[in-house]
Amino acid sequence: MPKACPTMPRSIARSTCFWLASMRSSGHEGPMARTNAARVSEEIPTIGRAELRKRAKADTILQAARELFLEHGYSGATTDMIQARAAVSKSTLYSHFPTKEVLFEAVCKLGSDAFEAMLANAVGTETEPRRFLQRFGVEFLAYLFSEEGKAFFRLMVEASKSFPQLGPIFYGAGIKASTDMIERYLSGAHAAKLLLVEDPALSSEHFMGMLRGDLHLRVILNIGAPPRSAELDAYVAATVDRFLKAHTT
């Protein structure tokens, strides 16, 4: 029987696992696509066949939309193209997603859920500051520098210029969710007297900015290749070291 991702609420677990699996089969595979099996543990509640068919249609539409948004951008991917790729009728498409913006937001939400699950799986139950931040940083940047991560960032820039209402969707689905995760950790580490963090919100923004640094811009602009595994580990370790020096009691 299918399983649900343990780090996700049950209401979205099935769709998130679909997202992870779809990334594996697409041409934009990133690190998230390789984390599905490791987080499978809870059974999905039994549902009727009609509901299963309905969800399967929605999943098919989401996968088609995701592929086309990455291939053609937000403005270039039309609902007609999505309908054709998903092999569904217009009435089926609009019954699930009334507008392209609603569909795009759903695609971003699934990506955000999967991304958070990937990061949560990477840090696990770790509480020691250096190890937590190192694991988080490596996983975060590995995705950011993946083909999928780069494609989504470029899509974000392209779409938000012409459709500014999409900016908050992108920001909330990626950077903010990750920054909030660091803020929660820093708040707990401060309370446990593991670190001295007087303003967890500001410090989390500083850490995320240090992680991306100039390196992310160079990768996006294709100025050299993304760092290899050992280079990425060393880069994150240096970043974590500098961050901890400012927050050690």
pLDDT at residue 9, rounded to an integer? 34
Q: pLDDT below 70 — which residues of the chain? A: 1-47
pLDDT at residue 23, rounded to an integer? 45
**Structural domain of residue 180, as residue ranges?**
106-245
Final residue in a domain of this structure, among 67, 88, 103: 103
Same domain, 211 and 115: yes
What CATH number is attached to the domain comprising 188?
1.10.357.10
Same domain, 145 and 223: yes
203-247 pLDDT tens trace:
999 999 999 999 999 999 889 889 999 999 999 999 999 999 999
pLDDT at residue 73, rounded to an integer? 87
Same domain, 29 and 48: yes
Phi-psi bin for 193: left (phi > 0), alpha (psi -120 to 50), beta?
left
Same domain, 8 and 62: yes
pLDDT at residue 38, rounded to an integer? 41
Same domain, 98 and 82: yes
Please answer whether residues 240 and 133 qualify as being in contact, where contact means their C-beta atoms are separated by less than 8 angstroms. yes
Report DSSP letters for 84-114, one per residue: HHHT--HHHHHHH-SSHHHHHHHHHHHHHHH
pLDDT at residue 46, rounded to an integer? 56
Same domain, 218 and 122: yes
**How many independent structural domains does the chain possess?**
2
92-101 pLDDT tens trace:
999 999 999 8
Same domain, 54 and 126: no
